[in-house]
Amino acid sequence: MTLIILAASGCSAEQAASPAAPAPPPAAVATPTPSPAQVATLQLPIADYMLTPRQSAELKWLNAEKVAVCMKQYGFDLPVAPSPVVSPSDSLMFRRYGVTDPASVSTWGYHLPRGDNAAPKATLSPAENAVLLGRDAAGKPMTSSNGQSVPTGGCQGKVNTELASLQPGGPGSSGGTSQLVAQTKGESFAHSMADPRVQEVFGHWSECMRGKGFSTPNPLDAGADLPSVKEPKPDATEIRMAQADVDCKARTNLLGIWFAVEADYQKAAIARQPQAFAALKAERDAQAARIEQLVAGLAGR
């Protein structure tokens, strides 16, 4: 289902290349206001060249599982979730434009939600930590433990090396194209922030926030100055502000407009380097296949 449609892009390659010279507003932009459930399903063009949230979760689980296998060789048991757990933060869209979920902010305000499907956490002993990182408490390299040699960088270093080609920006088959994802995401975000279409809706959003008793120039700064954001839990003021933030985004269609504009810049960036992005997609596909193979080999260990 297409949620966002730009009637006219109004964006040339030269204009998209510089945040200092953003594209002029198009004559019309059709941008339906996405519901909270729809926001989670929005997909920027660059997502076609990235691991999916599920694959990203599998990669994190694979890292933890392989570290646990290594640590077991030295007599240490580390807790690992029985299977990959996908969290909202695995999505590219998670809080990309600030808070968006009214149910979440009613409890957590601007804090990151906690306690949902959290992976087990381990409190490591000095001996376990030394084998994990490959150095003792004094920072000296750990060469052996329980009569076995410890790899450089410990179990974590060993696994990082084994999975390097699967990590975002790692030494994949296409070399430098691995950096295109981070570059494109960063540049499109900067271009969209400077774009007059987004600046205009920021103004409408700020006016809405002032009407609710809060003064802030843009959604990314919202809540940053509240004392409670540094505390373990939000207070009532933080929750009220976050609720106002989400409501004003809906009233002004900030999410729909910002998403459409950033998608426009990403499409232009991808169109300028078709061969590089084709290589990047092939690299992503190879990484995804390898992750699936490795997860299947370790599942049910």
Q: What rounded mean pLDDT belongs to the chain?
A: 84
Count of beta carbons in the 10 Å neighbourhood of residue 252: 21
Residue 237 to residue 244: CA distance in whole angstroms: 11
On whether the CB atoms of residues 218 and 162 are closer than 8 A, the answer is no
Tell me how far apart the alpha carbons of residues 129 and 123 are, in angstroms, rounded to a whole number. Answer: 9
Give residue 173's Cα distance to chain centre.
23
For residue 55, pLDDT beyond 90 = yes
> What mean pLDDT comes out for the span 136-142?
87
Mean pLDDT, rounded, for 186-192: 95
pLDDT, position 119: 52
Which pLDDT band, with edges at 50, 70 and 90, does 121 fall under? low
Per-residue confidence band for 298, with pLDDT thresholds at 50, 70 and 90? confident
The band of 176, judged by pLDDT with boundaries at 50, 70 and 90, is very low
Q: What is the pTM of this model?
A: 0.79
The answer to whether residue 1 is domain-embedded is no
* Secondary structure (H, E, C), the chain: CCCCEECCCCCCHHHHCCCCCCCCCCCCEECCCCCHHHHCCCCCHHHHHCCCHHHHHHHHHHHHHHHHHHHHCCCCCCCCCCCCCCCHHHCCCCCECECCCHHHHHHHCCCCCCCCCCCCCCCCCHHHHHHHHCECCCCCECCEECCEECCCCHHHHHHHHHCHHHCCCCCCCCHHHHHHHHHHHHHHHHHHHHCHHHHHHHHHHHHHHHHCCCCCCCCCCCCCCCHHHHCCCCCHHHHHHHHHHHHHHHHHCHHHHHHHHHHHHHHHHHHHCHHHHHHHHHHHHHHHHHHHHHHHHHCCC
Residue 90 near residue 53, CB atoms below 8 Å: yes
Distance CA 196, CA 202 (A): 9
pLDDT band for position 300 (cuts 50, 70, 90): low
CB count, 10 Å around CB of 152?
13
**Rounded mean pLDDT, 222-244:** 95
Is residue 293 in some structural domain?
Answer: yes
Cα–Cα dist 81/63, whole Å? 12
Cβ pair 130, 136 in contact under 8 A? yes
- Whole-angstrom Cα distance, residue 253 to residue 31? 8
* Structure confidence at residue 20 (pLDDT): 44
pLDDT > 90 fraction of the chain, expressed in percent and rounded = 61
Assigned domain for 4 exists? no
Q: What is the CA radius of gyration of the chain?
A: 23
Give the least confident one: 127-131, 137-141, 250-254: 137-141
Mean pLDDT of 69-93: 89
Using the predicted structure, report yes or no on whether residue 60 has a pLDDT greater than 60.
yes
* Any domain includes 137: yes
pLDDT at res. 30: 53
- Evaluate whether 111 touches 229 at the Cβ level (below 8 Å): yes
pLDDT surpassing 80 at residue 11: no
Non-local (6+) Cβ contacts of 145 within 8 A are: 74, 127, 130, 131
Ramachandran region, residue 299 (left: φ > 0; alpha: ψ -120 to 50; beta: rest): beta
Confidence of residue 168 (pLDDT cuts 50, 70, 90): low
Asked if 173 contacts 283 with a C-beta cutoff of 8 angstroms, the reply is yes
Residue 29: inside a domain, yes or no?
no
Dist. CA 165–CA 182, nearest whole Å: 16
CB 198 within 8 A of CB 257: yes
Q: Is residue 26 part of a domain?
A: no
Compare 63 and 165 and report the one with higher pLDDT.
Answer: 63
Let me know if residue 216 belongs to a domain.
yes
In contact, 133 and 153? CB cutoff 8 Å: yes
20 occurs within a structural domain: no
> Which structural domain range is residue 128 located in?
49-298
Q: Is the pLDDT of residue 198 over 50?
A: yes
| Confidence check: pLDDT of 285 > 80 | yes
**What is the domain count for the chain?**
1
